[in-house]
Amino acid sequence: MRLDTLLARATGRLTEAGSPSPRLDAELLLCHALGRDRTWLYTWGDREAPTLARARCEALVAARALGHPVAYLTGEREFWGLPLATHPSTLIPRPDTETLVEVALARATRAQGRLLDLGTGSGAIALAFASERPGWQVLGVDRQPEAVALARRNAERLGIANAAFRVSDWFVALAGERYALIVANPPYVAEDDPHLAQGDVRFEPASALVAGPEGLDDLRYLVAAAHEHLEPGGWLALEHGHAQGTAVRELLTAVGYADVASRRDLAGHERVSLGRRPTER
């Protein structure tokens, strides 16, 4: 069977299964099975599919048809132009989160500084920022040792030397440490949100998604606790759900943060809220 025929069949199966991007998914899975990139596939689509690669592709497509995320099946997802290894123990990096990176970079105006990424997962935010600000020291923390190990592997593979990773449940292992910037993409989904039973999130760790009845439990904690780890004039920036901007701004204002604001993602939703460290407590 030719590769283009195999690709067409895979696309058809994923279309029938209701995949939101059947052609792209099929291409990514076939390329993974072949150990080739998509440019090679476009160029040599008229070649015969190797028997082993065909079998691997068909198995991957079958898993995708059941809903398993492509990023977990291939073990990789691009974020901020960086190819990151992924694992089911961590969230899949998403384009919306690049808004948080943009907000952090806009406030990293000096040549050197320290940034803390809380709940780093695969290290996506920390590594994206570190790749753009080589003069800054970046620390990513996560309470899951598997996530920390994954983030370290990503840093090593990408050759990003100014990012380090450590096991910590939020600020627990960071006593006395202060940072110019603290960022986080914490759990912010309400425990009864129907989206938890849909799409890729069905296969992602619930502990990285769910935060109480309103989805605000972790955001509330971070707003209250972060000021002790911010340098004077330092910024806290938090990703949140598209309908949580008002609530997070109110939390920041109530604690005394200055210059509180929100930023929208590419879809126009309020995605990140931020504030400058309170001057008095």
Going from the N-terminus, what domains does the chain have, and what CATH number goes with each?
3-67 (1.10.8.10), 87-276 (3.40.50.150)
Rounded-to-integer distance, Cα 33 and Cα 59, Å? 10
Rounded-to-integer distance, Cα 274 and Cα 235, Å? 7
Residue type, 235: W
Number of other CB atoms surrounding residue 12 within 10 Å: 14
Instruction: Return the SS3 of 249.
Output: helix
Q: Is the pLDDT of residue 3 over 60?
A: yes
**103 Cβ contact partners less than 8 Å away, ≥ 6 residues apart:** 183, 237, 263, 272, 274
Give the pLDDT confidence score for residue 8 in this predicted structure.
Answer: 97
Tell me 112's DSSP state. -
Instruction: Return the SS3 of 217.
Output: helix
Q: Is the pLDDT of residue 40 over 90?
A: yes
pLDDT in tens, 197-256: 898 999 999 999 999 999 999 999 999 999 999 999 999 999 999 999 999 999 999 999
The residue behind tokens 């898993």 is 63
Pairing relationship of beta strands 230-239 and 270-276 according to DSSP bridges: antiparallel
Strand runs labelled E in the chain = 76-79, 82-85, 113-118, 136-142, 163-167, 179-184, 230-239, 258-264, 270-276
pTM of this structure? 0.93
Mean residue pLDDT of the chain comes to 96
Q: Is the pLDDT of residue 195 over 90?
A: no
The residue behind tokens 């039973």 is 197
Rounded-to-integer distance, Cα 186 and Cα 139, Å? 16
Q: Is the pLDDT of residue 27 over 70?
A: yes
CB contact at 8 A, 125 and 183 = yes
Give the pLDDT confidence score for residue 278 in this predicted structure.
Answer: 77
Give the pLDDT confidence score for residue 58 in this predicted structure.
Answer: 97
Mean pLDDT of 147-162: 98
Q: Is the pLDDT of residue 165 over 60?
A: yes
CB contact at 8 A, 260 and 249 = yes
Contacts for 69-75: CB closer than 8 Å, 24+ residues apart: 69/200, 69/203, 69/204, 70/25, 70/28, 70/29, 71/200, 72/203, 73/29, 73/32, 74/28, 74/29, 74/32
